[in-house]
């Protein structure tokens, strides 16, 4: 596992930053997720320890963008619950960092790395939207077995406003263009509601 984590979140994996180390990170993320699925029941703390390691790497703004990319990708591969609880609430603050890096027009390496990180976030939300889509179809099929399942309505202006406040202006603009936005939007708002409820419950217990 340590070797896989190095391949996932190591700062430098090749001599040149222009080499395709991204594929290696993606492969490592898939393998780590598979190991957690296959051996999680036998090693109960495995998934928790890996999740904690990746979250620290994601939230540490002193780490390299290559490390952030690996952490985001690794977390998103661990499933919709991880995306919902650990990635979504941190997108807005993290995008404030990426927007700065994307503004450095003279540094093509940093721009490429920042673009990869932003795409990793979009891919994570797409996975969250796919999970919501499956739940949406299953619910409709259980309620009525006649006809094709209906797609959710286009998010309202108020919903878009809430999303923008949650994930930031620049990232919201990118998300609005996503072909599965109608599924991603309610999934994100559902995640925000779950997080808020958990925080409220924790405050009441203190």
**pTM attached to this predicted model:** 0.85
Q: What's the domain count of the chain?
A: 2
Residue 84 covered by a domain: no
Residue 132 covered by a domain: yes
Residue 150 covered by a domain: no
In this structure, the chain runs to a length of: 206
Residue 59 covered by a domain: yes
Supply the pLDDT for residue 144. 60
Residue 149 covered by a domain: no
Supply the pLDDT for residue 206. 38
CA neighbours closer than 13 Å in the CB half-sphere of residue 163: 24
pLDDT digits (tens, 9 = 90+) for 88-140: 999 999 999 899 888 887 888 999 999 999 999 999 999 999 998 888 777 76
71, 58 contact by CB (below 8 A): yes
Question: Percentage of the chain surpassing pLDDT 90?
Answer: 61
With a cut of 80, say whether residue 143 has pLDDT above it: no
Give the torsion through C-alpha atoms of 30, 32, 34, 37, to 10 deg: -140
Least confident of 24-28, 61-65, 71-75, 102-106: 102-106
* 104/121 Cα distance (integer angstroms): 20
CA neighbours closer than 13 Å in the CB half-sphere of residue 24: 17
- Tokens encoding 83: 């995306």
Residue 190 covered by a domain: yes
pLDDT digits (tens, 9 = 90+) for 190-205: 876 544 443 443 333 3
pLDDT digits (tens, 9 = 90+) for 157-202: 999 999 999 999 999 999 999 999 999 999 998 876 544 443 443 3
Query: How would you class 9 by CB atoms within 10 Å of its CB: exposed for 0-12, middle for 13-18, buried for 19 or more?
Result: buried
Pair (130, 181) in one structural domain: yes
Domain that holds residue 3: 1-10+22-79
Nearest to 32 by CA among 74, 70, 64, 69: 74
Residue 102 covered by a domain: no
Residue 89 covered by a domain: no
Nearest to 176 by CA among 192, 162, 195: 162
Confidence of residue 141 (pLDDT cuts 50, 70, 90): low
Residue 18 DSSP code: T
């Amino acid at each position: 596992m340590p070797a896989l984590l190095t391949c996932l979140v190591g700062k430098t994996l090749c001599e040149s930053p222009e080499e395709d180390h991204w594929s290696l990170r993606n492969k490592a993320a898939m393998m780590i997720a598979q190991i957690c699925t296959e051996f999680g029941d036998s090693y109960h703390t495995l998934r928790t320890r890996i999740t904690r390691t990746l979250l620290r790497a994601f939230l540490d703004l002193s780490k390299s963008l290559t490390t952030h990319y690996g952490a985001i990708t690794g977390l998103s591969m661990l499933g919709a619950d991880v995306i919902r609880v650990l990635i979504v609430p941190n997108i807005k603050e993290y995008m404030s960092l990426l927007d700065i890096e994307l503004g450095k027009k003279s540094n093509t390496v940093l721009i490429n790395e920042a673009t990869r990180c932003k795409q990793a976030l979009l891919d994570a939300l797409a996975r969250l939207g796919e999970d919501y889509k499956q739940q949406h179809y299953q619910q409709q099929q259980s309620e009525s077995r006649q006809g094709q399942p209906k797609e959710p309505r286009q998010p309202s202006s108020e919903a878009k406003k809430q999303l923008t406040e949650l994930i930031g202006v620049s990232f919201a603009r990118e998300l609005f263009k996503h072909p599965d936005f109608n599924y991603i939007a309610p999934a994100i708002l559902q995640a925000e509601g779950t997080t808020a409820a958990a925080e409220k419950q924790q405050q009441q217990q203190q």
